[in-house]
Structure 1
Amino acid sequence: MSALQSWRKAYGALKDTTTVSLASLNSDFKDLDVAIVKATNHVECPPKDRHLRKIVAASSMARPQADVAYCIHALARRLAKTRSWIVALKTLVVIHRLLRDGEPTFREELLNFTQRVQILQLSNFKDNSSPIAWDYSSWVRTYGLFLEERLQCFRILKYDIEAERLPKQGQGTEKAHSQTRELDSQALLEQMPALQQLLYRLIGCRPEGAANTNYLVQYALALVLKESFKIYCAINDGIINLVDKFFEMPRHDALKALEIYRRAGQQVNL
């Protein structure tokens, strides 16, 4: 490790210690603030589960809405202020874990918050500490776009694709299917483009350069890839449903369906 890298590591640790001390002294939500700082510190490793559990508990249905709103505000503030790719990526991981493992209250409050403040659109984020950090920064921006698209998809579908339990028809050996298999034509034409756009964002999360071999990036990428199965299932079931309904559609709806088929064909080859 070079002297410059050692200095940056020590400086990051000092900033984390200072931030924890300030949160302990000044915050009305000191336990939550301390957990957020510790979960998103400058150490290049995934957030620890014990800190994540405290954040999940603070955003649960058992807590007042104001507490959930403060949790989101604190995460947004952490993300907006940092210029460290490590802190930014770990904050996005915390948000992603809360979306996956937390209760619906967090997702609903985050939807309301992002209508006012686009915290996940990190187009201007860049860690200038080293050329390698530029590769990491690029992936942080891409990851933020995926999470933003995930929220947009939920806004249209009105349910979380990852939390969906795939029902089975009857008691035989039929495979589980997604809600898109049962939708009417209008709901299909509205939901399928949103699902396909989410899949584009997921495919676009391939890391490049130094980010391709970084452990922290790979950890976050694994969270993204875990969502691919249900997205693919929802799209495939929706395509089957569209085929069944295609010849009954009015012409303008049939043209929309053809565009969905075209995009589906393109995505198969990506």
Structure 2
Amino acid sequence: MGMDIQTKLRLALGTMKDQASIGKAMMYNHQQHEGFSNIEIAILRATSHGNSTIDNKYMHEILFHVSNSKGSIPFLAEKISRRLCKTKDNLVSLKTLVLIHRLLRGGNRTFEQELCKAHVSGHLQISIIRYACVTRNFSDPLVCFLHKYASYLEERMSWHVNQGGKLEPIMSKGLGFRRYDEKSFDMAFRILPKCQILIDKVLECSPYDILRSSYHSLAHVAMSNTLRESFQVYMTFCEGIEALVNMFFDLESSAKSLACEILKKGSIQSQKLHDLYQTCKKLVENKNLEYPFVQIISMNHVMALDQFGFQENKVEASHVSISSISKLPQISSLLNRSSELELEVTTKEIKKDEEKVDLIFSTTPTLSSWTLETKISKVWVVFEDEVHNESQILPTQ
């Protein structure tokens, strides 16, 4: 009973603070720029105290006023950051993070790009370690979830929704190996590692404790949003694995080693992602989530590829060593025959290992022969608490 009274008292004090902040925003900013004042008021109302989800009308208000106020996105980012830094209420922090997540997809591409630029420039700060509310009790499930969710959003800022409605990483131009197909190389060695980083952030958002807490309604919204995005990232992950396996035998020895490390991590992640989805199917109260079928990557297949690359490195090292020694005129005639015999025997061993790899991959489901089956649509979907025309609210600036 004491806890109930304490909770009600905290809610009442929080509501009074919200009203005071709203009144201050109306008086202070009205004379300078009415649109900016309305943006701040909408943020305060969207992230008010209380265990309720964000009302759609406040999302509409924010997007509308931003679209009609030139240069307002940095102001929006700063006010959201200030809300996170000032509040001592964990629930308000969670609401603010959910608001950021929704804003990333709420407007058009220009708005999304400008919001990401605000994060890069420091106007939008997400790091949850800065907030006083989470430094009090790390044993609280909500505090742990706030850290993990904020970490996910930090990484999510380096992704964007393309014209096809698909989530993809923002890639800077880099140098690739010209001897390989440029698109396949980018998919295997640049996009796939980015997918693995984001998947790690998803896996860290463990729903076991938070979804059973008193904050379950907001936690379900946050986790549903994260899961939806992970479904599309997993599809790109599968495309990257397939491209990597297809080019594996054409890679140089150093690239083969890197490819094996990526595949080993992918094997572990596929198992964890499968388990996470199975758990969320039972705990996350959202029937609209269409989970993909996760194909678990066999570690035995990865180790077979790794062994093949190791044997190939031995052959190359042996060839280099013999070539350098054979330059000595005194013993070159004696080494010619022995080197030929050694290379012949080693080559036969490599061929046997390669045949063994081919046999394994021909008798069991292979990485490259996966059918990337999924139930989800490739068309980007809106959150369940959003309206379908929300993306049209913010016109192109």
TM-score, normalised via structure 1 length: 0.82
TM-aligned CA deviation for residue 111 of structure 1: 2.6
- AA paired with 1:183? K
- AA paired with 2:56? D
Query: 1:194-237 deviations in whole A, cap 9, x for unaligned?
Result: 11010110111113435534211111111111112101100001
- AA paired with 2:142? Y
Q: 1:109 maps to what in 2?
A: 114
Q: 1:84 maps to what in 2?
A: 89
TM-aligned CA deviation for residue 250 of structure 1: 2.5
Q: 1:41 maps to what in 2?
A: 48
| Matches of 2:167 and 2:13, distance apart in 1 | 46
Among candidates 16, 20, 23, match of residue 21 of structure 1: 23
Cα gap change, 1:21 to 1:74, in 2 (>3 Å): same
| Matches of 2:161 and 2:56, distance apart in 1 | 23
> What runs of 5+ residues in structure 2 fail to find an aligned partner?
169-181, 273-397
CA contact (8 A) 1:59 1:105 kept: no
TM-aligned CA deviation for residue 253 of structure 1: 2.3
CA contact (8 A) 1:125 1:137 kept: no
Could you list the structure 1 runs, at least 4 aligned residues long, displaced by more than 6 angstroms after superposition: 128-133
CA contact (8 A) 1:78 1:91 kept: yes
- AA paired with 2:165? A
Q: 2:192 maps to what in 1?
A: 192
Query: 1:55-101 deviations in whole A, cap 9, x for unaligned?
Result: 123444x653x112211121111112111111111111111001122
Q: 1:235 maps to what in 2?
A: 237
- AA paired with 2:39? L
CA contact (8 A) 1:135 1:208 kept: no
Moved more, 247-256 or 81-90: 247-256
SS in 2 for 1:224: helix
SS in 1 for 2:161: coil
- 2:187 aligned with 1:183, yes or no? no
- AA paired with 2:107? G
Cα gap change, 1:133 to 1:47, in 2 (>3 Å): farther
| Matches of 1:230 and 1:23, distance apart in 2 | 40
Query: 1:129-169 deviations in whole A, cap 9, x for unaligned?
Result: 996993212211111100111113x2xxxx43793189xxx
Q: 1:160 maps to what in 2?
A: 161
Map 1:1-270; keep pairs closer than 5 Å. Answer: 2-27=4-29, 28=33, 29-60=36-67, 64=70, 66-117=71-122, 119-125=125-131, 127=133, 134-152=140-158, 154=159, 159-160=160-161, 163-164=165-166, 183-186=183-186, 188-213=188-213, 214-270=216-272
CA contact (8 A) 2:188 2:240 kept: yes
Q: 1:179 maps to what in 2?
A: none
Q: 2:387 maps to what in 1?
A: none
Cα gap change, 1:128 to 1:89, in 2 (>3 Å): closer
Query: 1:28-67 deviations in whole A, cap 9, x for unaligned?
Result: 311111111000111211110000111123444x653x11
CA contact (8 A) 2:138 2:144 kept: no
Q: How many residues align?
A: 249
The two structures, once aligned, show a CA RMSD in angstroms of 2.7
CA contact (8 A) 1:126 1:134 kept: no
Per chain length, whose mean CA-contact separation is higher, i.e. which structure has more relative contact order (CA < 8 Å, sep 6+)? 2
> What runs of 5+ residues in structure 1 fail to find an aligned partner?
167-181
Q: Percent identity?
A: 26
CA contact (8 A) 1:58 1:68 kept: no
| Matches of 1:17 and 1:125, distance apart in 2 | 22
- AA paired with 1:198? L
| Matches of 1:230 and 1:34, distance apart in 2 | 34
TM-aligned CA deviation for residue 248 of structure 1: 2.0
TM-aligned CA deviation for residue 124 of structure 1: 4.5
- AA paired with 2:103? L
Cα gap change, 1:6 to 1:130, in 2 (>3 Å): farther
SS in 2 for 1:144: helix
TM-aligned CA deviation for residue 255 of structure 1: 2.1
TM-aligned CA deviation for residue 114 of structure 1: 2.4
Cα gap change, 1:248 to 1:63, in 2 (>3 Å): farther
SS in 1 for 2:48: coil
